[in-house]
């Protein structure tokens, strides 16, 4: 970056800002000091692109695959039978222990033309199976919620790494420069917390913007983007003045990545003042639209609003949106170690909103180039824990994808006959990350960032694209 551009006295700067020409001064100095580029400007994909954006629906706590989408007749046939298992917990890893199998508490039926089995927990999602691709052979790293949740979002269990949304922002930018490229709706403060949507060593402009917080979906709005005490003209004048001072400072010190990122963040914050208040205001939506999300119904109102907000965001050009069904309890929502019937409550809260989101995206022509990903950090064991619960299971579980060039109405891979371990066409979390990046037109091996003397990527030194998932 050149630092020998034209100088501007403090008096002249203050005069220009005071006269309402701060923006002109800022523009001039942007040209002089190389600040013309927007790091969030849309970028061309590296390979043919199927999806332009992603909605990730995070089911925190680990929903039980054998009670939801992975039908295992053997679990019904061998209910309460005691068999040997190799432990998945740190203290029992590699050790054999006898555990009693436990059948699902809900019936399974085939649905759609594809004949996908779905339990009675999800009658609304069952109606959408012909648009879904189920991956039944997922496996991941970490056995506790914190490490596995971090791995799901960042590709690392304990190291500070950029989140997937940050990598997507870095690789593709945003389709709307007035909004963040990456938004996380109602994220948790625990189990990885902000690291789940953090930028780590990527430029700070790529950090996810948190909207609301876990357990308080009614607060899902971008805060502090408006100031009722000042007129729009006054706010613009203050902003121009501040940015002019920032640019002058940058010109005096030369290249400074932190300073440049700060200036860009201020610019984004200003642009958001124009668009963000309307973005999070769903009152303009029709009653018919609200109904398909379950808004206004006691069980589904909260999560329905989150899912509708996600549609509004991708519709306006946000590149990556995560929708978090989570809370701040010691046991995240789907974490039923001793009370599997609690799954019914969580299914009621999320089934209709998720199905409504899929229907709405499809009706608006957005599902074609929006990839929807539903899943938790791991699954649950086929054996019982504390009589009517299930333990964590990172060795085999189910997620589903939809849209974005994904082949609809398919089931890919399999766990063993009781749902304990992924055995056929195994898909590691690194593989899933690589596949989603591929759908977005990004090569996971080439999407790198040099930091501390080495090139980093989301998939570390692993990952493969599951090409069979694409139409």
Q: Are residues 231 and 215 in the same domain?
A: no
Q: Are residues 315 and 455 in the same domain?
A: yes
DSSP-derived secondary structure for 95-151: -EEEEEB---SS-EEEETTTTEEEETT-HHHHTTGGGEEEEEEEE-S-SSHHHHHHH
Q: Are residues 112 and 170 in the same domain?
A: yes
Give the DSSP H or E segment for 303: helix 301-315
Q: Are residues 200 and 80 in the same domain?
A: yes
Which pLDDT score is estimated for 85?
Answer: 84
Q: Are residues 302 and 420 in the same domain?
A: yes
The residue count for the chain: 471
Give the DSSP H or E segment for 3: none
Has residue 139 been placed in a domain?
yes
Token pair 């920032």 is found at 246
Domain that holds residue 267: 9-38+227-279
Q: Are residues 186 and 325 in the same domain?
A: yes
**Which of 7-11, 127-131, 354-358 is the least confident region?**
7-11
pLDDT at residue 296 is higher than 70: yes
265: nearest Cα among 169, 164, 372, 184: 169
Q: Are residues 393 and 247 in the same domain?
A: no
pLDDT at residue 9 is higher than 50: no
Which pLDDT score is estimated for 95?
Answer: 73
Give the DSSP H or E segment for 383: none
Q: Are residues 194 and 253 in the same domain?
A: no
Which pLDDT score is estimated for 34?
Answer: 38
Angstrom distances, CA of residue 99 to CA of 143, 144, 152, 390, 414? 18, 20, 28, 11, 22
Has residue 286 been placed in a domain?
no
Contacts (Cβ under 8 Å, ≥6 apart) of 266: 239, 242, 243, 246
pLDDT at residue 6 is higher than 60: no
Token couple for 407: 């082949």
Q: Domain containing 96 — which CATH number?
A: 3.40.720.10
Q: Are residues 254 and 348 in the same domain?
A: no
Average pLDDT of the residues in 253-266:
61
Has residue 4 been placed in a domain?
no
Average pLDDT of the residues in 384-389:
94
Which pLDDT score is estimated for 392?
Answer: 95
Q: What are the pLDDT digits (tens) for 404-423? A: 999 999 999 999 999 999 99
Q: What are the pLDDT digits (tens) for 429-466? A: 999 999 999 999 999 999 999 999 999 999 999 999 99
Which DSSP letter does residue 385 get? B
Which pLDDT score is estimated for 19?
Answer: 37
Has residue 385 been placed in a domain?
yes
User: What pTM, to 2 d.p., does this model score?
Assistant: 0.85
Q: Are residues 57 and 122 in the same domain?
A: yes
Q: Are residues 305 and 243 in the same domain?
A: no
Has residue 44 been placed in a domain?
no
Higher pLDDT, 233 or 384: 384
Longest CA–CA span in the chain (Å) reads: 84
Share of the chain above pLDDT 70, in %: 80
- The SS3 assignment for 466 reads coil
Strand-pair category, 379-380 with 53-59: unpaired
pLDDT at residue 22 is higher than 60: no
**Which of 21-30, 334-343, 375-384 is the least confident region?**
21-30
The number of distinct structural domains making up the chain is: 2
Q: What are the pLDDT digits (tens) for 102-151? A: 999 999 999 999 999 999 999 999 999 999 999 999 999 999 999 999 99
Has residue 47 been placed in a domain?
no
Angstrom distances, CA of residue 97 to CA of 88, 261, 266, 301? 11, 53, 57, 43
Q: In angstroms, rounded to a whole number, what is the distance separating the alpha carbons of residues 367 and 53?
A: 10
Has residue 208 been placed in a domain?
yes
Q: Are residues 162 and 16 in the same domain?
A: no
Determine contact, residues 403/51, Cβ cutoff 8 Å: yes
Has residue 323 been placed in a domain?
yes
Determine contact, residues 255/3, Cβ cutoff 8 Å: yes
Which DSSP letter does residue 87 get? B
């Amino acid at each position: 970056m050149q630092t020998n551009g034209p100088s501007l006295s403090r008096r002249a700067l203050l005069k220009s800002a005071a006269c309402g020409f701060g923006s002109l001064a800022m523009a001039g100095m942007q040209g002089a000091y190389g600040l013309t580029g927007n790091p969030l400007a849309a970028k061309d994909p590296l390979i043919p692109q199927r999806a332009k954006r992603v909605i990730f629906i995070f089911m925190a706590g680990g929903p039980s695959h054998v009670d939801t989408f992975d039908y295992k007749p053997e679990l019904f046939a061998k209910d309460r039978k005691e068999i040997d298992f190799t432990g998945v917990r740190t203290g029992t890893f590699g050790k054999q222990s006898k555990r009693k199998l436990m059948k699902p508490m809900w019936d399974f039926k085939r649905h759609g033309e594809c004949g996908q089995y779905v339990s009675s927990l999800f009658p609304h999602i069952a109606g959408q199976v012909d648009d879904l691709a189920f991956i039944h052979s997922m496996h991941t790293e970490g056995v506790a919620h914190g490490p596995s949740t971090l791995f799901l979002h960042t590709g690392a269990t304990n190291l500070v790494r950029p989140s997937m949304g940050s990598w997507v922002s870095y690789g593709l930018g945003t389709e709307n420069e007035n909004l963040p490229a990456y938004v996380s709706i109602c994220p948790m403060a625990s189990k990885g917390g902000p690291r789940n949507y953090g930028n780590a060593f990527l430029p700070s402009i790529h950090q996810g913007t948190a909207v609301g917080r876990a357990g308080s979906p009614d607060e899902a709005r971008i805060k502090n983007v408006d100031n009722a005490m000042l007129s729009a003209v006054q706010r613009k004048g203050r902003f121009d003045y501040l940015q002019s001072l920032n640019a002058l400072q940058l010109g005096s010190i030369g290249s400074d990545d932190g300073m440049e990122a700060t200036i860009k963040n201020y610019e984004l914050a200003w642009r958001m003042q124009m668009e963000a208040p309307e973005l999070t205001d769903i009152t303009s939506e029709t009653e018919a639209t609200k109904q398909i999300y379950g808004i206004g119904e006691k069980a589904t109102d909260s999560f329905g609003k989150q899912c509708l907000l996600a549609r509004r965001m991708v519709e306006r050009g946000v590149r990556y949106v995560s929708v978090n069904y989570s809370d701040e309890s010691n046991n995240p929502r789907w974490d039923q170690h001793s009370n599997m019937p609690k799954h019914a409550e969580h299914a009621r809260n999320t089934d209709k909103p998720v199905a409504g989101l899929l229907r709405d995206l499809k009706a608006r022509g957005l599902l074609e180039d929006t990839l929807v990903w539903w899943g938790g950090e791991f699954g649950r064991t086929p054996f019982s824990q504390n009589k009517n619960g299930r333990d964590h299971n990172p060795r085999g579980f189910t997620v589903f994808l939809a849209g974005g060039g994904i082949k609809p109405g398919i089931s890919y891979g399999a766990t063993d006959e009781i749902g304990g371990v992924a055995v056929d066409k195994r898909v590691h979390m690194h593989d899933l990350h690589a596949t989603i990046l591929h759908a977005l037109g990004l090569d996971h091996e080439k999407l790198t960032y040099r930091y501390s003397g080495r090139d980093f990527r989301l998939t570390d030194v692993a990952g493969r694209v599951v090409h069979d998932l694409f139409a």
